[in-house]
Amino acid sequence: MKVLITGGAGYIGTGLVNQVVTDPKVNEVVIYDNLSRGNYNFFIGKEIQFHNKVRFVEGDILDSRKLKKHLQGIDVAVHLAAKVTTPFANTDSHFFEQINHWGTAELVYALESVSVPRVIFLSSSSVYGRSEELASEEKIPNPRTFYGISKLRAEDHVKRLFDNHDTYIIRCGNVYGYNKSVRFDSVINRFVFDANYQGRISINGDGTQARAFIHVDTIADVVHKLLQSSVTPGTYNAVSRNLQVLELVDVFKEFYPELEFMFINQHLNLRGIRVAINQAFFNELGIPETPSLIQEIKEIAEHLPFGNLKGI
């Protein structure tokens, strides 16, 4: 099996590649990435991603000619490439549209002209917008940010592939957890960093806003297993837990007993979203039970040197 991963040198891509290269059924992994985030950690060290199965292509998602060239002979295309600017999901509307919307459109045009049997697109739970009730896959999307709008428009392009490809749209929660390409603009990762080095975290708004979350290893596991799973093609939620920011603070206080926290614009009740956990989907894929959040916070903190680990 030959797999092409757009955005494969990024945060989720790094976790996915580490899993895929150990799969005996995968013969080649093509990493298609323009390195726009300036994160070169994927290339550092002698870990398994430098296995002889891996081929790196520096390419832009808007370059349809190059996409078509490197999609030749591919069995599964995994589309991770995206512009993500957590928590500033309502800035730079032009770049969200260019990359998330029109970049996906270019990939779909290329896939329509090349025989690639299976396509996996990582979308976002942001497409649901604001919701006090659990948002299942049946909920009509109503995105409220430029980022969410661009991902929903990308979904509309990907849906054109449903008739002729085994196509999966995965609506992913806020990703957290450690790997060598870790992003510290993600809320849980940022909280660990600030708690570890400053002993204080900052909370935007009143803290009652909820978010859906999933660990980076879990979403990598979901995508990896979809490479050859018999799960019915379609649109699926991929979240492991829903938490208010204040609930996160309570967990962090347990881990860092002396932690301080500061509110910014506490009078604001910010947008929140709770997403239904599709346990049947996880069970069909064989995704293991999610560890406790305390365990996962400890795992991130253990990779941060000379910090404040009083809570361990």
How many domains does one find in the chain?
Answer: 1
CA separation for the pair 30, 35 (Å, rounded): 14
195 lies in some domain? no
C-alpha dihedral sign at 48, 221, 236, 272: negative
The tens digit of pLDDT for each residue in 151-161 reads 999 999 999 99
Instruction: Give me the pLDDT at residue 79, please.
Output: 98
Q: When comparing pLDDT for 86 and 282, which is higher?
A: 282
Instruction: Give me the pLDDT at residue 312, please.
Output: 45
DSSP letters along 157-193, please?
HHGGGTTTSEEEEEEE-EEE---TT--SSSHHHHHHH
**Residue 293 φ/ψ, nearest 5 degrees:** -65, -35
**Which residue segment(s) compose the domain that 50 sits in?**
2-176+213-238
Q: Residue 3's beta-bridge partner residues?
A: 29, 76
Over 80: is that where the pLDDT of 89 sits?
A: no
103 lies in some domain? yes
264 lies in some domain? no
Over 80: is that where the pLDDT of 307 sits?
A: no
Over 80: is that where the pLDDT of 85 sits?
A: no
E strands, 206-272, are 210-215, 234-238, 241-244, 260-264
The tens digit of pLDDT for each residue in 267-283 reads 777 778 999 999 999 99
**CATH number of 129's domain:** 3.40.50.720
265 lies in some domain? no
Q: What is the pTM of this model?
A: 0.93
Beta-strand pair 210-215/241-244: antiparallel
Contact 235, 278 (CB under 8 A): no
The tens digit of pLDDT for each residue in 7-36 reads 999 999 999 999 999 999 999 999 999 998
Q: How confident is the model at residue 50 (pLDDT cuts 50, 70, 90)?
A: low
